[in-house]
Chains A and B, each alone.
Chain A
């Protein structure tokens, strides 16, 4: 059974700080990784995807992938209260399906 593990949190950071969200996965053959953001009472929305080792930056968001350690992370720089949400890590399996982690709840306080 393929697994995606995340710390459920909550992760509390002050406004302006860097929030670091982590995810580990069990399938060494995984090639692509996704981060979804889910606000309370809303549905998930894709915010980042990463396919190769290293860093991928998009605005205040940076995804980091280390395939050897089976570890993917999401950094949010200059965190804002509007970033408060649950962040879901997702990994594909069987070509057209995703397996999701349980999510990490992030709280950014002013």
Chain B
């Protein structure tokens, strides 16, 4: 059974804190993604990675960075959290070339106060 897990379901942080969101997949997928989902705006791509140590910016990378040191793990970092980063964060992965099989993690609802 395929699985994408995220480190927290709910997280509350203060403005200015450094925040780490972790995603782990056990399917040996090359491609991993971080999205945020907001009402009325849908899913928006923050960053993605095609391979270990490789990363590319998505549509809204400002204020975020990522790290992929191992194939199964993709981390999203908020260097200095701000209230406008309050959102649902979703991680996803798929095998290279098999976009139709993109699997999502359960999501992390982050609140920045």
Residues of A within 8 A of B (CB): 8, 32, 34, 42-46, 49, 88, 92, 95-103
Contact = CB atoms under 8 A, between A and B. Distances in A.
Interface residues of B, number: 22
A97 B27 CA distance: 18
A88 B90 CA distance: 14
Nearest to B105: A43
A34 B100 contact: yes
Contacts, number: 45
A43 B41 contact: no
A43 B43 CA distance: 11
Contact of B99 (A42, A44, A96, A100): A96
Given A43-B90, A96-B31, A102-B42, 15 more contacts: A8-B40, A32-B99, A32-B100, A34-B100, A43-B104, A44-B90, A44-B104, A49-B100, A88-B42, A96-B96, A100-B42, A100-B43, A101-B42, A102-B40, A102-B41
Contact of A46 (B33, B42, B100, B105): B100
Nearest to B35: A100
* Interface class of chain B by DSSP: mixed
5 shortest A-B CB distances, which residue pairs?
Answer: A102-B42, A43-B104, A100-B43, A49-B100, A43-B107
B3 to A, nearest CB: 12
Contacts of B45: 97, 99
A45 B4 CA distance: 12
B106 A43 contact: yes
A43 B102 CA distance: 12
Nearest to A44: B104
User: Which of the listed residues A34, A43, A44 has the most CB atoms from chain B within 10 Å of its own CB?
Assistant: A43
B100 to A, nearest CB: 5
B102 A46 contact: yes
Given A96-B50, A100-B43, A102-B42, A46 B96 contact: no
23 contacts: A32-B100, A42-B106, A42-B107, A43-B90, A43-B104, A43-B105, A43-B107, A44-B90, A45-B104, A46-B100, A95-B99, A96-B48, A96-B94, A96-B96, A96-B97, A97-B33, A97-B48, A97-B58, A98-B102, A99-B45, A101-B42, A102-B41, A103-B42
